[in-house]
Structure formats: structure tokens, C-alpha cells
A and B are shown apart, each in its own frame.
Chain A
Amino acid sequence: MAEIKVDCRNETCPVPLVETRKALRRASKGDVVEVTGTHPSSRKEIPMAVKSMGLELLGVEEENGVWSIRIRK
């Protein structure tokens, strides 16, 4: 089970969402993808995408405007 990190800090719409999707496509089943970013809407929208794809949202954390979202494929 690999852990894949995606850094989308200072990227804006739609890059964090797209980079998350690209990482999830490349990941194998069971891998964990962790995305970090600063774009506020993506913090809400990445979990929406996770839900619509039927994947597992492991957690969302935020500190000083930098959020990180963990997803299991």
C-alpha cells in the first residue's frame, strides 16, 4: 500500500481537483493519496469528488489556511 503525496499549495481552480483525480487514477486499490492545498473551494470539492467516485475519505485537516485531505482508493 503506497502513500502518494500531491502538493497543490498556491494552485487555483481546477488544478487541485484535477491533480487529485490524476493521482487517484495512477494509484492502486488500497493506496492512500494525500493532497495539500490552499485553494478554499477545493477543500470542499475534493471530498465531493471522493464521494461521487465511491472512494474512502480518511480525513480533512486545516492549519493556517493550508488544508490536507487523505483519501483511500
Chain B
Amino acid sequence: MNKKATLVVHSGDLDKVYSAFIIGLGALSMGMDVSMYFTFWGLQRLKKGKLDSAPLSKMNMFGLGRWMIRRKMKRAGVASLDKMLKDFVELGGKILACDMTMEIMGIKKENLRSDVINDYCGVGTYIKEAMESDITLFI
């Protein structure tokens, strides 16, 4: 059986979502299985059309910092979150959506990217995934 990584994506901040996808993709590329569990602010990024419409965790400066970082990232040739999500799915990564967050924040399945979500689940699923994992991170 392959080694496995499980990531909780709690933050919806652009920089942290980038980190989560880079680590997730890195693990898949090294031959691991990966599950990413999106909850709270992280789940907002799985709403249709909202993947990269997020502020920075620091120095956002009402969007100015975000604009500057995105410009620098583009210049450095950093892949878009859209490409990262597509690659993550292609490499067999699993995307899990927290159903409790959906309930408290009034998010319906039809508002989410159901094309990439493998399952809607609770903490029990995360723990089950984490128990089988060699790496688990909370982002």
C-alpha cells in the first residue's frame, strides 16, 4: 500500500490554499496517496468560481498585497490554483468537503464544485483518513 498524506484545509486565505495544493501535489508526485479535507474558510474555496478569489493571510492591505503577490507569482511562473486543482484530481488526489460547514454556512451541494469533490463527510472520515496516513497537516 502507498504511503499517505491527509491535509485539513481550514484556511481560505489565498497563500495558505496555495501551500495546501503545493504540498498535496508534491505528495502525489512522490507517489503518495493524498486526501484534502476542506472545512470552514477552506470550504469557501470550493464554491463555484471562488477558488482563487481570496485575500492573503497577511499584508492583504484591502487587496493591494494580494494584487502584488499575484503579479509576482505570475512573473515567477507559479501555476494557477485552477491548474493545481486539475492536476491534483488527475493524479488521483481525493477532495473531501465538510458537511457540518455546509450546514452552518448554508452552502448547498449545487453551490460547490461537485465535479472535483469525492465525498461530503464529517470528522470521523478525517480521523479514519488520518489514522491511515504517514503525514497529516492542518492548514
Contacts and interface: CB of A to CB of B under 8 A. Distances in A.
- B25, B29, B76, B79 pick with most chain A CB within 10 angstroms: B29
Contacts of B31: 21, 49, 52-53
Contact of B29 (A11, A12, A20): A20
Given A13-B22, A14-B22, A21 B77 contact: no
The A interface is mostly helix, strand or loop, or mixed, namely: helix
A28 to B, nearest CB: 17
A6 to B, nearest CB: 12
Contact of B26 (A11, A14, A25): A14
A53 B32 CA distance: 9
A21 B76 contact: no
A46 B26 CA distance: 10
Contact of A12 (B77, B90, B91): B77
Nearest to A11: B77
A12 B74 CA distance: 11
A21 B78 contact: no
Given A18-B29, A20-B29, A10 B91 contact: no
A49 B77 contact: no
B87 interface: yes
Interface of B: 22, 25-26, 28-31, 76-79, 87, 90-91
Given A17-B25, A25-B91, 16 more contacts: A10-B77, A11-B79, A12-B76, A13-B22, A14-B22, A17-B30, A18-B25, A18-B28, A21-B29, A22-B87, A22-B91, A48-B30, A49-B29, A49-B31, A52-B30, A53-B30
